[in-house]
Amino acid sequence: MTSDVLPGPVQETGEIFDVTRLGEYTQFTVVAPGVARGFKPGQFVAIAVGGRDTSMLLRRSFALYGVQPGAEFAGTIQFVVAAKGGGTEWLLRRQIGDTLDLVGPLGVPFPLPRASVPAVLVGGGYGTAPLLPLAQVLLAQGSDVEMIVGAATASRLFGEMQAKRIIGKVTVTTDDGTAGQRGWVTDPLPSAIERLGAEIVYACGPMGMLRAVGEVAGAHAIPAQVAVEESMACGIGVCMTCVLPVRDGDGVSRFVRSCVEGPVFDAGRIRWADVGTVPADLFGADGN
């Protein structure tokens, strides 16, 4: 896997260029050349919400996709928003021409193989978004790529048409059968791994889905790189709201910050059963 040194994030004021409703989500296109310039697939942007006179002091974080550092839409970034609370509801009231206070790109991107390898990408809901630019990079490297896109219901799918244009080989699933195959995204994953001879799985979506993806990949003795959807309130590692129990290479488990050490992790390192708890054997749990 490559581990190139990444440029640092920038803070800039970006003008909203376009707002598009897509099912249950809203896609924002914002002019932010500084953020776009340093972007790698898997990174995110942190946005100030609420305006100047607000009690909402913490930023809201969104995975980036559709970044254009140059060409026709020079210096634009795209991200997808779902209404979840006061911060996102404020953001969803913004219109074309409004400005946003942005910090990015933030976080650890998806690690890329040094040579072309077959890969399966798995996206749940709007977790598909960061996988689309990843697919483009993998294809440019010569990798054979398949993608599985899923959601609870058809209106919660995101990016299936873009994925088909980029990749071609896309399987769609919904829990209720309103689009594609009925079932979970992990149902067709074993056959996709075997059919492609996949050597790695990449995924983004709800935590339960990521855990299941990691288990399927582990059963096939291949790694799974997953972008977690923990709540990242500050985006810069200060507030500690996004910590996860993760095993380090030395076998010791520690809390790490999803926004700084992640959001991308090796699924095999995350202690899924202990997410949301403080395990007694965690380094520092005894006060030392």
Q: Is the pLDDT of residue 2 over 60?
A: no
- Architecture of the domain spanning 10-106: Beta Barrel (2.40)
- Architecture of the domain spanning 110-229: 3-Layer(aba) Sandwich (3.40)
pTM attached to this predicted model: 0.90
Residue type, 1: M
pLDDT tens per residue across span 219-277: 999 999 999 976 666 667 777 778 888 888 777 788 888 888 889 999 998 888 778 77
pLDDT tens per residue across span 46-84: 999 887 766 667 888 999 987 776 555 568 999 999 988
Cβ count near 3 (within 10 Å):
9
Q: Where are the domains of the chain?
A: 10-106, 110-229, 234-288
